[in-house]
Amino acid sequence: MTLTMGMSTFAALVSCTATAASPLEMPADLPGDRVVGGAGFDSGQTLRFYTDTGGGNSGVLSEAAAKMLGLHPATPTNPAMAEELGSVKIVEPPPFAGTSPLPARDPAIPWMIVLPRVAPPGWTDDSDGLLGNSWFAGHIWTWDYPGQKLLLQPRTWQPAANEHVVPLGFRINEDGARASNFPRITIEIDGRPLSMLLDTGAETQLMPTASKAVGDDGPMLRATSMIAATIFRDWRARHPDWRYVPAAQLTTKSDMIKVPEVRIAGYVVGPVWFTERPDTNFHDMMSSMMDAQVEGAVGGNVFHSFRMTVDYPNARAAFRCVRGCRDVAKLAAP
């Protein structure tokens, strides 16, 4: 698909949510169930942005993208930020141009990190930037995986009768305000409820040997779901018949396991590959920014089956089964 949306269009779309009567479609590609949207500034440049609900607040620009836009990355002047980021440079987000009623800069997103490349070293790098959770906070977004669309919904949006709605957890501060915008969702695997980060940006780059072992026709860089090592080892011990690929991920050499069924929002999907991650990644680092401990991240290889709407203001998500999923209520019916 040819991508034609840029940051100016993105800003205009966000600004229209209060009055728009229908969803506004944002062009997107979904390589390996990774949602990449964007491109096209008023000046004619073309950029691609990876959408990541589990990503850092501000997002990322590649050095090449910043140069293309005429931006000038610099080290932070704030001492605390400088200590946290070290030698990493930041830049104000590209200005919202054209007729957007938003201010030239969005005060909610004062800066973006600038890195040599968006992807980790050695991974396929198919994006010019990454949009983290602050870009989605306060709005209602639909990731339509089967339809290959990313939609910004009007504020009047309500779930359809054929959608399953589940609550999302967000960290709240002592004043009762939203402290972070990392969404937590509960899934069920092997009869056990698991709190997980809802993460459209969960991805892996397979080793060539792992790609051969997985045996599908998907790309090396693809969406994945992730699970803490303790639970991964428990699955291995309890289910030696579940397919297992050692040293599957490039760079980290993380293992993968194929879970036969995942229950999410009253549906059953699967099988789904999970990538092992150290316990501390989720139990300590990620959980410190969420309303409860999470055991991993559920990503696009689960959402693949759904039209999924994340309603940030009302802390809920709606799932519409489109392909390859079964309704739990119907399975239980006599």
Q: Is residue 1's pLDDT more than 50?
A: no
What is the average per-residue pLDDT within 94-109? 48
Domain assignments of the chain as residue spans, ordered by start: 7-152, 164-332
Contact 59, 113 (CB under 8 A): yes
Q: Which of 190, 166, 329, 328 is nearest to 259 (CA)?
A: 190
**Topology classification of domain 7-152:** Cathepsin D, subunit A; domain 1 (2.40.70)
Q: Do domains 7-152 and 164-332 have the same CATH topology?
A: yes
Q: How far apart are CA 147 and CA 323, in angstroms?
A: 11
pLDDT at 165: 98
pTM for the full predicted model: 0.89
CATH class as words, domain 164-332: mainly beta
CA pair distance 320, 144, nearest whole angstrom = 9
Model confidence pLDDT, tens digit, residues 157-203 = 999 999 999 999 999 999 999 999 999 999 999 999 999 999 999 99
User: Contact 113/90 with Cβ under 8 angstroms?
Assistant: yes
Peptide linkage before 334 cis (omega within 30 of 0): no
Report the distance separating Cα 144 and Cα 327, nearest Å.
18
Average per-residue pLDDT for the chain:
87
DSSP 53-112: TTS-SS-EEEHHHHHHTT---B--SSHHHHHHHTT-EEEPPPP--TT-SS-SS-TT---E
